[in-house]
Structure 1
Amino acid sequence: MGRDDRRIVGDLVGAHGQTYADEAGIRLKDTPQPLYRLLVLAHLLSARISASVAVAAARALSEAGLRDPRRMAGAEWQERVDALGRGGYRRYDERTATQLGEGAELLTERWGGDLRKLRDEADGDVSQERRLLQEFPGVGPTGADIFLREAQLVWPEAAPYLDRKALQGARRLGLPDDADRLLSLAGKTEPAVLAAALVRAAVDKDVAEDALHHAA
């Protein structure tokens, strides 16, 4: 019969199904601070920089106390730059420090510092959530996809959210690049966990090869 796609998915999820929020130490809940920290993480991950560096930078910002938009906006620009640098996020640190400050001000002024109010404004329309997220400086289509891909754990209207990067990982593994078929292969796996595993296969050739090897 040849390859077993269900086993490939199972092995991939078992070994690499950690969300980036979890890796960054964000205990994701539908409350203001975790959602804001996820937005910052999505912003950092969307740059042309390694995911490990983006995660480390998100942790460094959190350790510096910049966990909510009020503190992020109130911090000195250099404080944000220094925190990003401690996380190894040096290539884009100055521009990103500016964008984080501007984004925190936007979130505070327009949505009272609470991304749930952005969600309310979208009225359950995921395409509107995606559009509104892109109003934050530095959060383009990729950043919005990252946010919704992970937020689907607590924003169920977004699920299942398998974005282009997740489907790219499926193609690298020779799996169907169709969300419904992938979800069927994944069984009871949370869509966010499946998406995270597929994204890791997309960005790291060794992850894909490991999954294929173990399923052989």
Structure 2
Amino acid sequence: MSTKKEKVRTLLDRHGETYAEEAGINLADKPMPLYQLLVLAMLLSARIRASTATQAATELYSAGLRTPQKMCDSTWRQRVAALGRGHYRRYDERTATMLGDGADLVRRRWGSDLRRLRDEGGDRTGITELLQEVPGIGPTGADIFCREVQGVWPVLAPFVDEKATQGARRLGLPTTPARLASYVEEDEMPHLVSGCVRAALSKAVTDDVLHG
């Protein structure tokens, strides 16, 4: 039977791609990639396949909608069309509206720079509360954003949301953030948590780590 350390390494090697990476985001503590991650978190929080959400995000970015200003400058129909190309059709019209409204809020309140949101929030509780003021970002979306951004926002680390906890439990790994984080370097934590989420969403991933 694999040890916890061996399972963590297998999970990282085979299923440790973050959702930001899957969507083509070169995540850094800079305004544009942070906003791109916010958009992705919104898309991922809907009841839709994660692969569809990342594809829709990629289509929005390919259409040039990578900043709050560009999103605000786009038309509702342009946003709907981009979401449609990503097969994000079930929620496309409502999401297109929320993307415009959210971008306007981020631009007006934080000068298009989510680092200002982080500084205003101060800690994990404050940051997650402010994130949920953005249209389309509820508790799930805030958790997704924090889960992915913890590598560049150390104030949030270690962050393990409910879905990642489910995956860790499936794999027989610790479910408390500090204990789970003890198995990896700081910069690997987003990858480990993403792997746990993938295990929660896919029995095939779980079986691959446990029996592959």
Structure 2 length-normalised TM: 0.96
Which residue in the other structure is 1:78 paired with? 77
Amino acid at match of 2:203: K
Which residue in the other structure is 2:103 paired with? 104
Residue 88 (structure 1) aligned with residue 87 (structure 2): yes
Map 1:53-202 → 2, pairs under 5 A: 53-123=52-122, 125-186=123-184, 190-202=188-200
Amino acid at match of 1:14: D
Which residue in the other structure is 1:27 paired with? 26
Distance 2:12 2:68 in 1: 33
Q: RMSD of the alignment, in Å?
A: 1.2
CA gap of 1:71–1:188, structure 2 versus 1, over 3 A, is closer
The number of equivalent residue pairs is 212
- Could you tell me how far 1:185 is from its partner in structure 2? 3.2
Q: Secondary structure at 2:137's aligned position in 1?
A: coil
- Could you tell me how far 1:16 is from its partner in structure 2? 0.5
- Could you tell me how far 1:175 is from its partner in structure 2? 2.1
Amino acid at match of 2:54: V
CA gap of 1:188–1:70, structure 2 versus 1, over 3 A, is closer
Distance 1:28 1:4 in 2: 31
* Runs (5+) with no aligned partner, structure 1: none
Which residue in the other structure is 1:4 paired with? 3
* Runs (5+) with no aligned partner, structure 2: none
CA gap of 1:65–1:89, structure 2 versus 1, over 3 A, is same
- Could you tell me how far 1:189 is from its partner in structure 2? 6.1
Contact 1:162 1:191 in 2 (8 A): no
CA gap of 1:31–1:194, structure 2 versus 1, over 3 A, is same
CA gap of 1:189–1:118, structure 2 versus 1, over 3 A, is closer
Deviations 1:152-196 (A, max 9, x none): 111111111111111110111122222222222346662111111
Percent of pairs identical after alignment? 58
